[in-house]
Amino acid sequence: MRIDVLTLFPAMFQGPLTESILGRAREQKLLAIHCHDLRQWGIGRYKQIDDRPYGGGAGMVMRVDAVVPAVEAVMQGDRRVRGNQRNQGHPWKILLTPRGKRLTQTTVERLAKKKHLLLVCGHYEGVDQRVVDGGWIDEELSIGDYVLTGGELPAMVLIDAVARQIPGVLGKEESAAEESFSKSLKRKREYPHYTRPEVFRDLRVPDVLLGGHHKKIEEWRKKRTA
Ligand code: ADE
């Protein structure tokens, strides 16, 4: 899968996308992520991206004439789009915004089947509605009912959740593909886990887990499931 990200803060993606499982997935070429600085498509000498809202009100709005050319550049393979590869098909274009539909595991699994995603990170008060109404966005998504400073962290959350659905990204033991969404979500909410040592300070691992009685362990776990 290829994921392009349009953001005012590409440096924010260093770390979350280069470490751990996502880093390994990229090294193994299971996942190609390209972050592009929206400022490249800024207007005028100061590369302006935002402007005051028509009708007044607080905050600034991201300009349609900056965001749309950026989206089109990714779609068309503009040379400003670093690492652009041809034949990736049309990207599925997502705007991260608190106005969007709530991201769920069902949505994550649908997105994981796409070959190419384009994530647009909203900032300031929002993005000029014509970016959406004109068809440059296929889907608006929110990661929850709270307001963040921008769409970057939501984009990273989305990338992480989607990436672990790609075959080969997780190790065999944790393979997401073998589990239905409800199963994997349930497993993550399952019973509390313990490992060595048996006693830490005066906190003991529950006796039932040490006994090796599978039926009893199963019952205990059922009772402790969130
Ligand atoms: N931008 C700001 N807050 C957001 C949220 N909760 N989800 C997606 N994008 C956002």
Residue nearest to atom 5 of ligand 1 (CA): 98
Per-residue pLDDT at 178:
54
Per-residue pLDDT at 77:
83
Nearest atom (ligand 1) to Cα of 97: 9
Per-residue pLDDT at 87:
46
Per-residue pLDDT at 94:
98
CATH code of the region 2-163:
3.40.1280.10
Contact 119, 73 (CB under 8 A): no
pTM of the model: 0.90
Per-residue pLDDT at 88:
58
Q: CA 211 → CA 159, 189, 206, 214, 217, distances in Å?
A: 41, 24, 9, 9, 8
Nearest atom (ligand 1) to Cα of 147: 3
Per-residue pLDDT at 95:
98
On the 0-12 / 13-18 / 19+ scale of CB atoms within 10 A, 168 is middle
Q: Which part of the chain is CATH 3.40.1280.10?
A: 2-163
> How far apart are the C-alpha atoms of 50 and 195, rounded to whole Å?
51
| Residue that is written with structure tokens 């274009």 in the block | 93
Q: Which part of the chain is CATH 1.10.1270.20?
A: 191-223
Q: In the chain, where does DSSP find H-type helix?
A: 20-27, 64-76, 105-112, 130-133, 152-163, 181-188, 207-210, 214-224
CA of 8 to the centre of ligand 1 (A): 15
Closest among 155, 176, 157, 173 to 165, alpha carbons compared: 176
pLDDT means per 10 residues, the chain with 226 residues, are: 97 94 94 96 97 95 98 88 64 97 97 97 93 98 97 98 95 65 70 96 98 96 90
What is the CATH class of 191-223?
mainly alpha
Cβ–ligand 1 distance for 155 under 6 Å, the answer: no
